[in-house]
Structure 1
Amino acid sequence: MGCDGGTIPKRHELVKGPKKVEKVDKNAELAAKWKYCALSQEKLRRPIVACELGRLYNKDAVIEYLLDKSAERPNVEVVAHIRGMKDVKVLNLTDNPAWEGERRNAKGDCYEDMHCAMFICPVVGLEMNGKHKFCYLQTCGCVFSDRALREVKTEICHKCGDPFQDEDIVVLNGSKEELEKLQKTMEERRAKAKTGKKSKKSKGVETVSKPSEAKVSSESKPGLTNGESGGDSSSSDSVPGPSSSSKTAKPITAAGSKRSIQQMEEKSEAYKSLFTSHSSAKRTKDQLSNWVTHTPYHF
């Protein structure tokens, strides 16, 4: 095979050299990160959400994943850290007035700017196309360029006015080093949340146990005898006056045999007749029936 009809083969056709490393087109890579959902690989459309690692998703794609995690989907490892909708934040984005949508070059007879983005920074005006670093705030979800946050240093959001801290700033589609930092901060935040929940549970158990212990101690005090009371009886005997003796005698009488309501002289006869222990509530032998039926046919 080959060399037929006087053809002369070249060296690269006969000798196999090392394979060339395939390079990824930078424009295509930026478009995949900033214009398409990281989970469904569909074009980003409102509402757009971002996770704690700075990846962009369509909200409906994340909801479908959370409802059915068993379904086979590509890029599932990208959303493995998302446990629920609380782990993502809806972004408050600013539209680009120069963006014309899909109809900007329908005929194909004019120049198409591949770097034109749908959204811009509301402070500086930079387009969110991947060439400039962008961040979002976890408190309110507003998106700004990193240049705007560095040049205009405030503790209040430039767009909505909500306060924020440096810990609330998350870089969108950051580098490997930035992803590692965001991963560490996410793990620390979740560990603090777990410890806070455990401390709240322990406090709730303590508050429930304290009233029960107080009830047990209050019930056990009246039943103590003079010998068991120890130093309290000696101290009460040493104090002169009738007030001390009356204080010690009251709990003993209260803890003794309970009086029935019918024996209380201070209660009226009308009040006593409300209870079944009253004589009017008791039946005589003539009023009692001799037989009882358990079937509904006695009537």
Structure 2
Amino acid sequence: MGADGGSFAKRDDLIKTKKATVHADQHELQRLLWHTCALSKEPLRQPVVSCALGKLYNKEALISHLLDPASGSDGHAVASHIRSLKDVTTLKLTTNPALGPSSSPSSDEAAPVNALDAVKFVAPFVCPISLREMNGSTKFVYRRPGGYVISEASLKEIRKAGAEATLLVDVGTSLSTDTSSSQWIVINPRADELEAAKVAWEAERDCAKDAKRKFRASKRKAGDNTGCLHPNKTKPPERTIRMAPVGLAIKAGSSVPLLSSSLAAKLAAEKTTLSPAIASLYVDPTADPNHDKDGRSTWMTRGAFTRYAG
């Protein structure tokens, strides 16, 4: 501690000072932002998808999150706006030639988790035109819905030359939609660009809901008009209750006296015959010729001494 003659005390030892705020390394944050999945925090490997906000995801990790949202700790905070694979676009990324074919990231051979800890890190993807590395130092954009990824500087040069339509045809992107800048999504935008992307995405979602609502209303109205013009065609069929046919004992044209006589004859025939339970109590006289010669044995005296008495 000092002040005892053996050491010299310093001001930091005697007075508690406020600790300096530790600032995160912005370069490291940028590297993690561009080379790791926003959902699983693992290195990016193809196939890679991106949402309307420009975030990058491993497709495998995103599918796992959609199947089981509770499995990811940051899933709800990061990808709560993604409800299905229709909300994302699969990116067409160009592998960095410096990595070589054996080092290119793919889903078959996943990169190790500590791959970003290397001293000299090489970006896995580059711009297909300028070959600039996709590491955050240069702004990159991708085209919806084709997913073609290119640097913003290369896109500006292509627009100056008026070759954007030719580029989209070469990469196989559909030209059915407009070629406005709203179809180009900025990857990992800045804070102000992220807010603008959120507003645009919410407006697009509301517009899609309104269009779907109007389509349903017009379809319902068209159905009502068709019903007025052709009431017989749109009238729902009446539901009929099917009942099992009841079998009749006699024909429908028989008279009541005939029914009474047939029932009486049936009852008389039943009285002449005994049921199997009652018939089993009596002995068949033809089975034993010496049995009950006098005809006085009954089921009450069968097997008793009285059967031989007087």
User: What TM-score, normalized by structure 1, do the two folds share?
Assistant: 0.65
C-alpha deviation, 1:26, in angstroms = 2.7
8 Å CA contact 1:37–1:43 kept in 2: the answer is yes
Contact kept in structure 2, 1:51 and 1:82, CA below 8 Å: yes
What is aligned with 1:28? 28
Equivalent positions of 1:253-268 (< 5 A) are none
Cα-Cα RMSD: 2.8
Q: Please tell me whether the aligned partners of residues 38 and 75 of structure 1 are also in contact (alpha carbons under 8 angstroms).
A: no
1:19 deviates by 2.6
From the superposition, tell whether residues 210 and 7 of structure 1 become closer, same or farther in structure 2 (CA, over 3 Å): same
Deviation at 1:183, TM superposition (A): 0.4
Question: Cα distance, 1:14 vs. partner?
Answer: 2.2
1:160 lines up with 2:166 in the alignment = no
1:186 corresponds in structure 2 to 201
Question: Within 1, Cα distance between the matches of 2:156 and 2:185?
Answer: 14
2:133 maps to amino acid: E
Higher-RCO chain (CA-CA 8 Å, sequence separation at least 6): 2
What amino acid maps onto 1:60 in structure 2? E
Shift of 1:165: 2.7
Q: How is 1:196-207 mapped onto 2 (pairs within 5 angstroms)?
A: 196-207=211-222
Conservation of the 8 A alpha-carbon contact between 2:91 and 2:149:
yes
Q: Quote the residue 2:307 is aligned against.
A: none
Judged with a 3 Å threshold, the aligned counterparts in structure 2 of structure 1 residues 4 and 72 are, in CA distance, closer, same or farther, namely farther
Q: Which residue, 126, 140, 143 being the options, matches 1:137? A: 143
Which residue in 1 is equivalent to 2:286?
Answer: none
Structure 2 counterpart SS, 1:170? strand
> Which letter does structure 2 place at the counterpart of 1:160?
V
Q: Equivalences for 1:80-95 in 2 at 5 Å?
A: 80-95=80-95
In the superposition, relative to structure 1, how do residues 161 and 284 fare at CA in structure 2: closer, same or farther (>3 Å)? closer
- Secondary structure of 1:135's aligned partner: strand
Runs of 4+ with >4 A deviation: 1-5, 283-286
TM-aligned CA deviation for residue 40 of structure 1: 0.5
Question: What are the equivalent positions in structure 2 for 1:49-64 lying under 5 Å apart?
Answer: 49-64=49-64
Instruction: Report what 1:149 is aligned to.
Output: 155
Specify whether residues 156 and 206 from structure 1 end up closer, same or farther in structure 2 by C-alpha distance, changes over 3 A only. Answer: farther
Amino acid in the other structure paired with 2:131: G
Say whether the 8 Å CA contact 2:139–2:152 is kept in structure 1.
Answer: yes
Structure 1 residue 3: Cα displacement: 5.0
Cα displacement (A) at 1:21? 2.1
**Aligned residue type for 1:170:** I
- 1:266-277 to structure 2, matched below 5 A, reads none
Measured in 1, the distance between the counterparts of 2:158 and 2:51 equals 25
Distance verdict in 2 for CA 1:75–1:12, change over 3 Å: farther
How many correspondences in the alignment? 216
Give secondary structure in 1 for the equivalent of 2:188.
Answer: coil
- Point out the structure with max Rg over C-alpha: 2
Whole-angstrom distance in 2 between the partners of 1:185 and 1:155: 24
How many angstroms does 1:12 deviate by? 2.0
Map of 2:65 onto structure 1: 65
CA shift, 1:85, in A, is 0.8
Residues 176, 284 of structure 1: alpha-carbon distance in 2 compared, 3 angstrom cutoff: closer
How far 1:64 moved relative to its partner? 0.9
Q: Within 5 A, what are the aligned runs for 1:178-257?
A: 178-215=193-230
Query: Scaled by the length of structure 2, what TM-score is found?
Result: 0.63
User: CA 1:35/1:16 → structure 2, altered by over 3 Å: closer, same or farther?
Assistant: same
Paired position in structure 2 for 1:113: 120
Partner Cα distance (1:48, 1:16) in 2:
50
State how far apart, in whole Å, the 2-side matches of 1:284 and 1:59 are: 75
| Equivalent position amino acid for 1:175 in 2 | R
Q: Distance in 1 between matches of 2:204 and 2:166?
A: 22
Instruction: After TM superposition, give the deviation of residue 216 of structure 1 in Å.
Output: 5.0
CA distance in 2, matches of 1:156, 1:179: 29
**Residue 71 of structure 2: SS of its match in structure 1?**
coil
